[in-house]
Amino acid sequence: MTTKLRWFSVLLALVMACTILPLTACGGGEDKVLSMYVAYGGPDIIAAEFERATGIKVELLTMSSGEVLTRLRAEKENPQTDIWFGGGSDAFIQAKEEGLIAPYISPNAAGVDAAFKDPDGYWTGLSLVIVGFLVNPDRAEAQNVIIPENWTDLNDSSLKDELMASNPNTSGTAYTTVSGILQVFGEDEGWEFLDQMYENIPFLEKSGSAPGSKVMAGEFTVGIVPDPHNLPLENPDASLLPVFPSDGVLAWPSPVAIIEGAKHPENAKKFVDWCLSDEGQAVLMQASPRVPTTDVETIEGVPQLSELNLVAYDHIKWGNERERVIEEFNNRYPQYQ
């Protein structure tokens, strides 16, 4: 065999090996690819900007937090994604307990309050889902009902059948509302408060966003909603007023986590770092206008973290108490079942 023929054979073997083996076996795969399961608004915007900043191409699949947990459990022995991005912190707490996510403390996480991140670095909050009220002032005037400024106003008799909310069996917003009130008022007084509040609510929606849609349509005066500033931002000509309760704003972090056994762990770390950078936080607000967990300047219409009277909501405690609280809710309010 001639020298040229031998080199051609070697080259052909290398090409075939790189076709058969994973990309990382031939170099460069870790540099260019990142996969993630996403429960966050505007993921295509975020993926495009991350790729522009780093050169890493993102492959994503959107689903709910519950669906992510189910997939991660099924794939535990052979993970099919690198990142879990967005969703309720209670689901991330469960994933940590089951060994589905891996610890990573980003240097950019130093500016995130301890209440919004796992102390061991298993997940870090990127933004906050704020629970507040969305009010239709035109309907409030027509129906002669109050515009609530705090939680206790929701028990006003003028709001009978004018208040809309979601069901904690299916909505993270609703569960945070119920458990947050139990924390603020104490359990005995909290359940008494909820007994009165639910007398003003004729039925419950499945999703946290649905009450806001009904308020915007003029069907109800007040809705308990996530991120009450969002619909007014999207519909500036609508009769909508966001209210952040003066007696305590409830919120939970929307985190990011690296999957245990991720195939692209270094790229995953770069994504976490970027999301917590000023650039990444600005992109996240562009994609989904939520309150950031860092002190980055907010875009117009999004409240600054320092402007809100946040309740020190114990998301770890109430995440663990979820089953008990939901059982009590269903026992007390069978009309919603």
Distance CA 217, CA 26 (A): 57
Q: Give the angle 117-265-114 at the CA atoms, nearest 5°.
A: 10
Q: Which residues contact 77 (CB under 8 A, 6 or more apart)?
A: none
User: How does pLDDT run across 234-253, given as a tens digit for each residue?
Assistant: 999 999 999 999 999 999 89
d(CA 277, CA 112): 11
DSSP string, 231-243: HHHH-TTSS-EEE
- Rounded to whole angstroms, how far apart are CA atoms 124 and 66? 18
What pLDDT is recorded for position 20?
A: 36
Question: Distance between CA 47 and CA 291 in Å, rounded?
Answer: 20
pLDDT, tens digit, 9 for 90 and up, residues 41-54 = 899 999 999 999 99
The pLDDT score that the predictor gives to residue 211 is: 95
Determine which of 16-25, 109-118, 188-197, 243-252 has the lowest per-residue pLDDT on average.
16-25
Separation between Cα atoms, residue 290 and residue 284, nearest integer Å: 8
CA distance 65 to 322: 15
The third-level CATH classification (topology) of the domain covering 31-128+252-303 is D-Maltodextrin-Binding Protein; domain 2 (3.40.190)
The overall average pLDDT reported for the chain is 89
Which overall architecture, per CATH, does domain 129-251+314-336 show?
3-Layer(aba) Sandwich (3.40)
Among 291, 290, 294, 264, which residue's Cα sits nearest to residue 277? Answer: 294
User: Which pLDDT band, with edges at 50, 70 and 90, does 5 fall under?
Assistant: very low
Does residue 18 register a pLDDT over 80?
A: no
pLDDT at 24 over 50: no
Q: Could you tell me which residue, 3 or 57, shows the higher pLDDT? A: 57
Indicate the pLDDT class of residue 304, thresholds 50, 70 and 90.
confident
pLDDT at 13: 44
86-99 average pLDDT score = 89
> Residues 157-187: pLDDT tens digits?
999 999 999 999 988 889 999 999 999 999 9
Q: Which of 199, 112, 210, 115 is nearest to 161 (CA)?
A: 199
How many residues does this entry show for the chain? 337
Note whether 31-128+252-303 and 129-251+314-336 share their fold: yes
What would the mean pLDDT of 4-9 be, rounded to a whole number? 42
The arithmetic mean of pLDDT across residues 89-96, rounded, is: 88
Tell me which H or E stretch contains 187.
helix 187-199
Nearest CA to 104 out of 89, 88, 82, 79 is that of 82
Confidence at 89, pLDDT banded by 50, 70, 90: confident
On the question of pLDDT at 12 being above 60, the answer is no
At 17 the pLDDT is 41
> Residue 23's pLDDT is what?
38
Q: Is 114 left (phi over 0), alpha (psi -120 to 50) or beta?
A: alpha
Q: Tell me, what's the pLDDT at 316?
A: 80
119-149 tens-digit pLDDT: 999 999 999 999 999 999 999 999 999 999 9
Contacts of 274 (CB under 8 A, 6+ apart): 50, 53, 54, 280
Compute CA distances 136 → 112, 157, 163, 213, 250, whole Å.
Answer: 34, 17, 11, 11, 21
Percent of the chain with pLDDT over 70: 91
Quick one: pLDDT at residue 128? Answer: 93
Q: Residue ranges per domain, the chain?
A: 31-128+252-303, 129-251+314-336
d(C-alpha 73, C-alpha 79), whole Å: 9
pLDDT value for 265: 97
Placement of tokens 């998301």 in the chain: 315
